Chain A
Amino acid sequence: MELLTYILLIFFSLQVKASEDPILRLEFFQKHEDCIIERKYIYLDREIKTIYEREINQAFESSIIKRYQMNCLGQISKVYILSDRVRSHYQTLLIQISKERIQVLEVLKFSEPQKYQAPKSWYHKFVTRSDSEIFNIDAVTGATLTRYSTMRMAKKALFLESKNL
């Protein structure tokens, strides 16, 4: 049984290495073809989770954070792919951070009914904001839970960036 597990593990790790990271096929990364993109996933240990929960009063659902480092002509930024539950379903955001400020915030997936999704212009309000400026962003009618979820994810990304993990 153990031998079979090892064989399967080797097989799957070879499969992952052989295939290109499918996340890099996202439109955002395709637009930055000239940049050097490295996959730098973070594994959150209990200590980091505890600090975060104490500081932000939220919990991390997953211990693995999907993160990519982009080097565009010497300008280094980090791109986080984060998912969060809105009410019953999840929304997934792509958040690019440089110098502890949000540079890009894009919705990759929104699984709640579309009427609860905030307009694109509202998501754009996060751009150039730092950690302390996020809660000044205007409320959005009919999408309160989406607003909370977006803020949670922006806060998470900025927190991880500030800890320099």
Chain B
Amino acid sequence: MTKLEKQILLVSIFATTITGILVYLLREWGNVETLLGPEANPFLTHAQGLHYLFTPFFILSISLIFKQHVYEKIQSSEKRRISGFTMVSLYLMIIVSGQILLYITEVNFTYYARYAHLLLGSWFALTFLRHLVLRFS
């Protein structure tokens, strides 16, 4: 993994996680009460826009390191292999749940997909932290 690939990976995961959490917080607790009723937070659109902007970089960053890092480590028997393997599985599920959120219109299904996406994303971020800790330990 080159230095540039590492930087792209770190920045994209950090930015996607932060903007994702921000979208969730603004959506669930950021409503503004107006004369006619509740209104979504005015910053929600910007937070969503940033999340959609960073997501392709996140997908790209994993794809960049796939051959020389992910695939190689899967074949080896290092301790970090478990967290890496978990991350790859979560990565795929995050992409699928994110796509479901964008395209599916069934109300109940999108409700569960939203929480699945949030849970998988948080799990991915925590596993990534563990992955880094294991690297330096």
Q: Chain A residues in contact with chain B, CB under 8 A?
A: 22-23, 61-62, 66, 81-83, 85, 88-90, 92, 108-109, 111, 144-145, 148
Contacts and interface: CB of A to CB of B under 8 A. Distances in A.
18 contacts: A81-B37, A83-B36, A83-B37, A83-B38, A88-B27, A88-B40, A88-B45, A88-B48, A89-B44, A90-B37, A90-B39, A90-B40, A108-B36, A111-B39, A111-B40, A144-B105, A148-B105, A148-B107
A23 B36 contact: yes
B38 A90 contact: yes
A126 to B, nearest CB: 19
Given A88-B48, A144-B105, A145-B105, A62 B40 contact: no
Interface in B36-60: 36-40, 44-45, 48
B18 to A, nearest CB: 18
A89 B42 CA distance: 9
B4 interface: no
B35 interface: yes
Chain B: interface residue count, which band? 10 to 19
B36 A62 contact: no
Given A88-B48, A148-B105, A148-B107, A61 B38 contact: yes
Nearest to B37: A83
B48 A92 contact: no
Contacts of B36: 23, 81, 83, 92, 108-109
Contacts of A108: 36
Nearest to B27: A88
Given A89-B44, A145-B105, A148-B107, 6 more contacts: A22-B35, A83-B36, A83-B37, A88-B27, A88-B45, A90-B40
A117 to B, nearest CB: 15
Contacts of B37: 62, 66, 81-83, 90, 92
Contacts of A88: 27, 40, 44-45, 48
Nearest to A61: B38
Contacts of A83: 36-39
Nearest to A145: B105
A62 B39 CA distance: 12
A109 to B, nearest CB: 6
A85 B48 CA distance: 16
A161 B14 CA distance: 49
B50 to A, nearest CB: 14
The 6 lowest CB-CB distance pairs between A and B, nearest first, are: A83-B37, A89-B40, A144-B105, A92-B36, A92-B37, A83-B38
